[in-house]
Structure 1
Amino acid sequence: MSQAQTIAPASTVALLRDGADGIETLLLRRSEKLAFAPGRWVFPGGRLDPQDYALANGCEEAAARAGAARESQEECCQRPDPAAMVLLSRWTTPEGHARRFSTYIFAAPLAQVGEVVVDGEEIDSACWLGAGAALQQHRAGELDVMPPTMITLRLLDAHPTVAAFLQAAREALVPEVFPNLCRSEAGLVSMYPGDAGYAAGDPSLPGARHRAVLVDGEWIYLHEGVDAAYPPLVP
């Protein structure tokens, strides 16, 4: 089987509402029993299925929108409008993982926020959190997230309202991110194109730094000395 055949299309959506202290988003905690990302806090989402493609006339991005809405309904009983979703980025699971996904990350406002209900099996907890509060909890080691979630939270935290964020997101470039995940003496490093060590898979090589580094449970994003061809993933 080719490498391309082993990468499954998936999608996720950051559900948004305005709160007293800025933008709030709904985060779900994946069960510790799951094989992929156990115990991590994530946005609703999952692998695309034939039903999603049937609604999309063969267009993968449209299928991704349908899949994100379906997964949100299944995982937390919230139903965003696929047409209102704004595509933020697309991330591909690094090589070396048994299960790899090419994941569309969307953001969407909720016209009506209903009761959040999780199944207690795949998802064991859920909470609405301000983007800034979520980042603070992550820094304190209380919210275990992956780099795509951390970077999306930073994007949300840079704007005061949902409307302002979505307007900026519509005008922004949509990066396709292919991380190179390695270990260094300091811990895990997720390198991105433009990093001096990206091609060789060697985070110790001197030069530009375009990476997220896991330090004491916190992912720290670096963009230093990087060629202009590789803009930062966050402001």
Structure 2
Amino acid sequence: MTEIPVAATLVLARDGAGAIEVLLLQRPDRGAFAGGWVFPGGRVEPHDEADDEERTARNAAVRETAEETGLIVDPDALLPLSHWSPPQQLATKFHTWFFFAHGHEGDVVLQQAEAVASEWLRPADALKRHGAGSLKLFPPTWVTLDTLMAFSTVDAAVRSLGAREMQRYETKQDHERGLALWHGDEAYDGGEETEEGPRHRLHVGSLPWRFEHR
């Protein structure tokens, strides 16, 4: 079996009007995540290699962010946010680390081969635009934005996220019902579904998407 490569993503955040803002990049209309809005990041390269996978991913997240945006971040300043394993059905698969960090001052200078547009957006605004069909997102980005909606300042986000365990998502897809499923959902391993059973799923069959976690 071919080993799934590792990738890393960096969620850069800054204080905005009443809520944090995060940096999103729009990918070109080709390749992986074509036309989608994502956080800076990409796959691990040989010169990112370190003693363990997390440190390797930190190096990749910082390098990719610098290449794609011109913004420089200290790898030690990154806060592990989540780790995503892809559904089996995907043709292109990565195990992806998501990190969180304060967005330092500086102009975003895009590498056009990697991103065609960028915006600092409040998570709630990004999700609203996605729900209206004007901003394309993928489930890991959507769930991350939903998580970050709770925070009014970057400091508050750092305190809260730093006090919890890193979240791990091993995604399963139910195309027939338009669902992305994660551990904790009673249907995740094919169990019989009940009305009041535990849920950990994202409804992606139509807009706006809807997250259930109980």
TM-score with structure 1 setting the length: 0.84
Q: Distance in 1 between matches of 2:111 and 2:165?
A: 36
Matched residue type, 2:207 = G
Contact 2:15/2:154 (8 A) holds in 1: yes
Shift in Å at residue 161 of structure 1?
0.3
Shift in Å at residue 189 of structure 1?
0.9
Shift in Å at residue 132 of structure 1?
1.9
Task: Report the structure, 1 or 2, having the larger strand content.
Answer: 1
Q: How many percent identity over aligned positions?
A: 36
TM-score with structure 2 setting the length: 0.92
Matches within 5 A, 1:61-76: 61-76=54-69
Contact 1:21/1:130 (8 A) holds in 2: no
2:212 pairs with 1:219: no
Q: Which residue of 2 aligns with 1:102?
A: 95
Matches within 5 A, 1:72-151: 72-111=65-104, 113-151=105-143
Shift in Å at residue 78 of structure 1?
1.1
Matched residue type, 1:47 = R
Matched residue type, 1:30 = R
2:40 pairs with 1:48: no
Shift in Å at residue 175 of structure 1?
1.7
Shift in Å at residue 215 of structure 1?
4.3
Q: Distance in 2 between matches of 1:192 and 1:60?
A: 23
Matched residue type, 2:54 = E
Q: Which structure 1 segments of 5+ residues have no match? A: 225-235
Shift in Å at residue 211 of structure 1?
0.7
Q: Which residue of 1 aligns with 2:188?
A: 198
Q: Distance in 2 between matches of 1:32 and 1:217?
A: 21
CA-atom RMSD in angstroms: 1.7
Shift in Å at residue 205 of structure 1?
4.0
Q: Which residue of 2 aligns with 1:27?
A: 24
Shift in Å at residue 6 of structure 1?
3.0
Render the CA deviation track for 1:173-225: whole Å, top value 9, x for unaligned.
1121101012124xx2101112222113x8x844433210114333311124x
Shift in Å at residue 30 of structure 1?
1.0
Q: Distance in 2 between matches of 1:171 and 1:135?
A: 25
Contact 1:131/1:156 (8 A) holds in 2: yes
Q: Which structure 2 segments of 5+ residues have no match? A: none
Contact 2:179/2:205 (8 A) holds in 1: no
2:152 pairs with 1:152: no
- In the alignment of these two chains, the number of paired residues is 212
Q: Secondary structure at the match of 1:63?
A: helix
Shift in Å at residue 38 of structure 1?
0.9
Shift in Å at residue 71 of structure 1?
0.3
Render the CA deviation track for 1:142-194: whole Å, top value 9, x for unaligned.
22111211111122210110001011111011121101012124xx2101112
